[in-house]
């Protein structure tokens, strides 16, 4: 069932933004580009390794420290 967010924004736009976010973060490994796909006050939380950041500045400090997807957990 669609919620108000998907109804207002449109599923196609949400999918496009999500794909750009994943490409920026995991392929380009560009934290600043990934932040452009997030809200004005992003939060990053990586529970398994207990790190996180709040806002653009905090998120930029965390994103580059996240393990790559090729790193086994």
Report domain extents, the chain.
4-65
Higher pLDDT, 3 or 36: 36
What pLDDT, on the 0 to 100 scale, is given for residue 4?
54
d(CA 49, CA 14): 28
Q: Read off the pLDDT of residues 16-47 as tens digits, 9 standing for 90 and up.
A: 999 999 999 889 989 889 989 988 888 887 77
What pLDDT, on the 0 to 100 scale, is given for residue 2?
47
Residues 63 and 34 sit within 8 Å (Cβ to Cβ): yes
What pLDDT, on the 0 to 100 scale, is given for residue 12?
87
Closest by Cα among 46, 66, 45, 64 to 54: 45
pLDDT at 3 over 60: no
């Amino acid at each position: 069932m669609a919620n108000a967010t998907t109804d207002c924004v449109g599923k196609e736009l949400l999918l496009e933004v999500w794909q750009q976010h994943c490409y920026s973060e995991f392929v380009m490994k560009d934290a600043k580009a990934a932040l452009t796909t997030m809200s004005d006050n992003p939060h990053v939380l990586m529970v398994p390794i207990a790190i996180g950041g709040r806002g653009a500045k905090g998120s930029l400090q965390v994103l580059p420290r996240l393990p790559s997807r090729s790193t086994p957990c």
